[in-house]
């Protein structure tokens, strides 16, 4: 049985709203920061709009964007990043960009999470890439993230949080949560040294 395009869009929108609420509830995004996307089909995706609190976002506020085309005018600052990743990785269904606080603190020490510290780390984010300090919202940052995520499940953006990918928003969310947990474990272990 074929699912209608409208049903696919409703499901994707519901998943993005739920993932945004979970990110906000866990403090992985605050206020209007962060952005999410979900693929609808091979040519289109839903993006979060600029300036919306991800914890209070509603389905009707999400924007449809065409992969390989300029983002819609009200799209999030990092919409180029989402579109570049989805264009490069046709196997992906979702992208999340967040600013997890423990990860940012770990990064400030010059480190990135070590997946081998936890079983879930090795399972969910066995490869974590580092992306250079590039201007937010730039095509350079978008291309660098797409390159990094060609072989990794997560990318730490220098001074700018992290990006995780997945088959669906829930999987990308689990990967973001795991990155933050790994960072907390490393910070706690560092305090004991």
Measure Cα distances from 127 to 67, 133, 191 in Å: 25, 19, 25
Per-domain residue ranges of the chain = 5-192
Note the pLDDT of residue 191. 45
pLDDT along the chain (193 residues), means of 10: 82 96 96 94 95 90 94 93 97 97 94 95 96 95 98 95 97 98 90 42
> What confidence score (pLDDT) does residue 5 get?
83
- pLDDT at residue 41, rounded to an integer: 95
What whole-number distance in Å separates Cα of residue 108 and Cα of residue 111?
A: 7
- DSSP-derived secondary structure letter, 75: B
CATH level 2 (architecture), domain 5-192: 3-Layer(aba) Sandwich (3.40)
């Amino acid at each position: 049985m074929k699912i209608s395009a409208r049903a696919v869009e409703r499901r994707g929108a519901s998943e993005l709203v739920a993932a945004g609420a979970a990110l906000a509830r866990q403090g992985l995004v605050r206020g209007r920061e962060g952005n999410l996307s979900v693929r609808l089909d091979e040519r289109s995706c839903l993006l979060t709009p600029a300036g919306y609190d991800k914890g209070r976002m509603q389905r009707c506020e999400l924007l449809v964007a065409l992969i390989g085309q300029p983002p819609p005018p009200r799209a999030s600052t990092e919409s180029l990043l989402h579109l570049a990743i989805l264009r490069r990785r046709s196997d992906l269904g979702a992208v999340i960009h967040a600013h997890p606080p423990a990860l940012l603190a770990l990064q400030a020490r010059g480190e990135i999470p070590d997946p081998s510290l936890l079983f879930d780390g090795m399972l969910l984010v066995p490869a974590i890439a580092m992306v250079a300090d590039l201007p937010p919202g730039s095509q350079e940052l978008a291309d660098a993230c797409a390159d990094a995520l060609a072989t990794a499940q997560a990318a730490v953006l220098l001074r700018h949080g992290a990006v995780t990918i997945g088959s669906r928003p829930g999987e990308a969310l689990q990967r973001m949560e795991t990155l933050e947990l790994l960072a907390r474990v490393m910070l706690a272990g560092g305090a004991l040294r």
